[in-house]
Structures are given as C-alpha cells and as structure tokens.
Structure 1
Amino acid sequence: MQRMTAPKFPRRYSSVTTGFNFHQIWARNPWVVAWWSAAFPGFGHLLLGYYTKGFVLIAWEFFINTKVNLNEAMVYSFVGRFEAADDVLEPRWLLLYIPIYCYSIWDSYSKTIELNKHYLLAQSEPEPIKLFAMNGFTITLLDKRSPRRALIWSMLFPGLGHLYLQRLPSGAFIAVSCIAISYYAHLVEAVVLIIRGSLEQARTIIDPEWFSFFPSMYCFAAYSAYVMAVEMNEMYEREQCQYFRTKVQPPDYQLL
C-alpha cells in the first residue's frame, strides 16, 4: 500500500504579502465588525479584508443614500423637524436601501466567525510568513510600524494611515472617497471660512447631506489603521520567531 505523504505547503494562511498590499487576518470580535457595517455598509468587509465586496457596498451606500435623501432626513430629525424629514425621504429608493443594509451587517458578522475559525486552524500549521515582496512598481516590506503614527496620519487625512501601513487598495479608496465627500460637501471652503471667523457663512455653504458621510469615514480610517498596525507588529514578531527557530536555534534546544 502506498503511504500518504503530508502536503508540501500548509492548507491555510493568515497573511499574504504582495507588491501592492500586505494582507492578513486575525481574531476579531464579530459584534465590532457588525457595528462598523451598521455605521456604514462596507466598512466591516474592509476591516476583514474583503476589499472588492467592501468597495461595492460603500459605492452603493453613496448612491442609494443620496437617492433616498437619508442623510438629509437624519439631519432634520436631529433638529426636531420630523415632518420635513418625512417629506424628503424617497420611499421608492428606501425599499431598495433596507435589504442591502441588513445584508451588509449579517454578512460581515458571519464572515468574521468563519475567518476566526480559519485563523485558529492556521495557527496550528507551520504557516510561512512572507517578509518581502517587490515588483516593477513598488516594494512591500513586513516590519514594525508605529500604531500612533498610523493613527495620527489617518487623523490628518483619512487613508494616509493605511498607506503608511502599505495597504494601498484600502488607503487609496478611503482617500479618494474623502476627497469626493469634501468636494460635494464644500468642506474645505467651510473650514477656510471658519478659520476666517465667518461661522454663519460656513454653516450656509456646507452641504449637510454629504457632510454626514465624513464622520463615519474619518473614524473608521483612524480605528482600522491603528488596529492594523498593532496586528502587523504581532505578525512581524511571529515571523522573527519562526526564523530564529528554524535558522538560528539548535534543533535539540527545549523551549520553555
């Protein structure tokens, strides 16, 4: 009888290093991911690394939200103008908004549970961690990054923290989204007017419907960049342990 041989490569990975992105999974709280999806559909999927689905859901949120006039209705509700909020809502588009919104929350929650199981199984295998990747356009290097610097760059402008962490797809998408939000909300003009002391003029020029997108995007960029930096450092330390165990440490050494 022919004996079965073990596979040459592990079945599961928890990180992938490419020329444009450092991609990894780690154990997450499903409720936190679901909360981010509730705050803005697509954020939970970006946090998990499902970039394509996350980008599609975020683009859909921009489109359908402006069609429903949801943010405008929320602004009216916050100031107690409930009749005005009811008048601006578009029921034909609202019925399309609700199913996708609920799906985004449910899907991100369930996928978090699945990835947590995958991550735990991957830790039990001799998973190789790729330290370096390079192509004709860029270089990606797994090394230690400061979570505080990632947070500060994200607070200066959303997306910069992700670029600092070599997350090009998410960083570029968040940065472009914030530029579009700032343009349609007239945010930069309002900030200039506030600096000049023209508070009333700044209030009238800003578009509340588009401006309502900005706080969610801003907070998510800061949170995700900080968390990714912490997990990236842990992955770097794990790679160092693997290297020293296989290349430096004597085979007969007993690790306490």
Structure 2
Amino acid sequence: MGTTQIHLRNPYIIAWWSAAFPGFGHLLLSKYLRGFVLFVWEVVVNVHANVNLAMVYSFQGEIEMAKNILDTRWLLIYIPVYIFAIWDSYRTTVDLNKIYLLAEREEHPFNTFSISPLEINYLDKRNPILAVIWSLFVPGLGQLYIHRIVTAFFVIVWIVAFSYYSYGLQAISLLFLGEIQKATSVLKPEWLLFFPSIYGFAIYDSYVNTVENNKLYEKVQRKYLKVNYQDPTFKILKGQKVK
C-alpha cells in the first residue's frame, strides 16, 4: 500500500513538525498508528479547549478574551501529550538513524516491485517539484504521486473535513463574488487555523520522500549493475584516476 523506507533524518526537524502539529513528526517517520492517534487527539482537544480560537484573539491583542475562552478542562490534558509527541518523535528519529546505519553495513537487498490485489507498486524516479505542485493543489495528491497511499488517504480525508467545518471553500466563493465582509464572517477560525500546518506538512513530506525515493532508486541501480555487469576482478586502486 505504499513505499516506506528508513533514511537519515534530522531529529530536530522531526521534533519541530511534532511541535507544529502533534502526529506529523511520527507520520514523517512512517509511524502511522502513533501519528494518527496523536493527530486525531490534537484536533479533538484543540477544538474543545478553544486553543485555535484563543490564538486568534491573542493575535488581535484581545488577551483577556483569549484567556476567558480557553476551557481548562481540556487544556490541562493538552500540554503533557503535546510535550510527549515532541519528545517521542525526537527519540524515535535517533533510534531509526542508528538502525539505518546498521542496515547500510549489511547491504540488505531491497524489494523494488510488488503486486497485490489492490495495487501495483514499484520503485521509480519522480520529480520532487511536481510532488510539491500537486500538494499545493490539494494536500495528499503529492503523496499519491510518490505512492504513499496511507498518508495520502489520511491527509485528503482531513483536508476535506477542515474545508467543510471551516467554511473555507464557501468563503472563497464569496470572495470571488466580491462579498469580502460576508466571506470573512462565515469563516470558522478554530478550524481554519489547521490549514497552514497540514498544507506545510503535505508539501514537505512529498518533497523529502520523493528525493529519498530517488536516492534509493539510484542505489538499487548501482548495486544491480555492479552485481550483474561489473567484472569481479575490477578494482580501483587508491589515487588512480578513472578514465
């Protein structure tokens, strides 16, 4: 159902994505179940605690309104899980980097082609810029382009949910009709503020994984050519120039 691989990652970048939106750091690591749980938890608790709404009021300078609207019954369980998501994604990245280095030394063969009743998946080179462009149109399409089916399905479902509950598409329609005041009034900011995070994640994830898939494709090609075509007696001496 997708192309999944382990490669070197910067633990601080993964932790930053978990800080931007709990679950994203784990999804970047292909830790899907943990990522899905943390993502859904973030949406449910954020909406009930009015975190996004409080952020909007604080941006407008209405600090008292922001404090009054926060629901502490939900807010106090928000903080520890939020910190856990950041810490766990950092810790997992460090562990996976160690596993990657061990796997590199083993030179384990890769499965580059698979056929199942639902899908055909194969390793191929793709254009990272094209993955970004598709993600800009609709988050999730970039993941479909590089065959990350699970992430693509998850992102597309949630972008539809955020669009529906934020009235974002309705606001865009009113904006095109010139009804700016009405377009602003229909928007639901507590849902609208989820868009920057999910758009940014979709673009970053599709670009990085396209680049890494391309590296893996070239690595598999090099190994195939070496095993099947290179003369076993061929050696490059130290300091020798290859013509």
Partner of 1:58: 39
Within 1, Cα distance between the matches of 2:36 and 2:223?
35
Choose which of 78, 98, 107 in structure 2 pairs with 1:97: 78
CA displacement at 1:198 relative to structure 2? 1.3
Within 2, Cα distance between the matches of 1:180 and 1:115?
32
Deviations 1:214-237 (A, max 9, x none): 110001100110011000000000
TM-score, normalised with respect to structure 2: 0.96
Partner of 1:150: 131
1:155 partner amino acid? L
Partner of 1:200: 181
2:52 partner amino acid? N
Q: Structure 1, unaligned stretches of length 5 or more?
A: 1-19
CA displacement at 1:195 relative to structure 2? 1.4
Within 2, Cα distance between the matches of 1:135 and 1:255?
42
**Is the counterpart of residue 138 in structure 1 residue 129 in structure 2?**
no
Partner of 2:108: 127
> Which residues in structure 2 correspond to 1:158-177 (within 5 Å)?
158-177=139-158
Within 2, Cα distance between the matches of 1:126 and 1:87?
58
Q: Structure 2, unaligned stretches of length 5 or more?
A: 238-243
Detail structure 1 runs of 4+ shifted over 2 Å in the superposition.
Answer: none
CA displacement at 1:73 relative to structure 2? 0.4
Partner of 2:68: 87
Larger mean CA deviation between 146-155 and 242-251 belongs to 242-251
Q: When the two structures are aligned, how many residues end up with a matched partner? A: 237
Partner of 1:15: none
Deviations 1:172-215 (A, max 9, x none): 10011100000000011011111122111110001000000011
> Which residues in structure 2 correspond to 1:205-216 (within 5 Å)?
205-216=186-197
**Is the counterpart of residue 180 in structure 1 residue 141 in structure 2?**
no
Within 1, Cα distance between the matches of 2:197 and 2:106?
38
Within 2, Cα distance between the matches of 1:144 and 1:171?
19
CA displacement at 1:127 relative to structure 2? 1.3
2:182 partner amino acid? Q
Larger mean CA deviation between 36-45 and 191-200 belongs to 191-200
Within 2, Cα distance between the matches of 1:255 and 1:191?
62
2:219 partner amino acid? R
TM-score, normalised with respect to structure 1: 0.91
Partner of 2:241: none
Secondary structure in 2 aligned to 1:24? coil
> Which residues in structure 2 correspond to 1:230-241 (within 5 Å)?
230-241=211-222
Within 1, Cα distance between the matches of 2:208 and 2:39?
21
Partner of 1:68: 49
CA displacement at 1:65 relative to structure 2? 0.5
Secondary structure in 1 aligned to 2:216? helix
The two structures, once aligned, show a CA RMSD in angstroms of 0.9
Within 2, Cα distance between the matches of 1:127 and 1:205?
55
CA displacement at 1:129 relative to structure 2? 1.1
Within 2, Cα distance between the matches of 1:200 and 1:94?
32
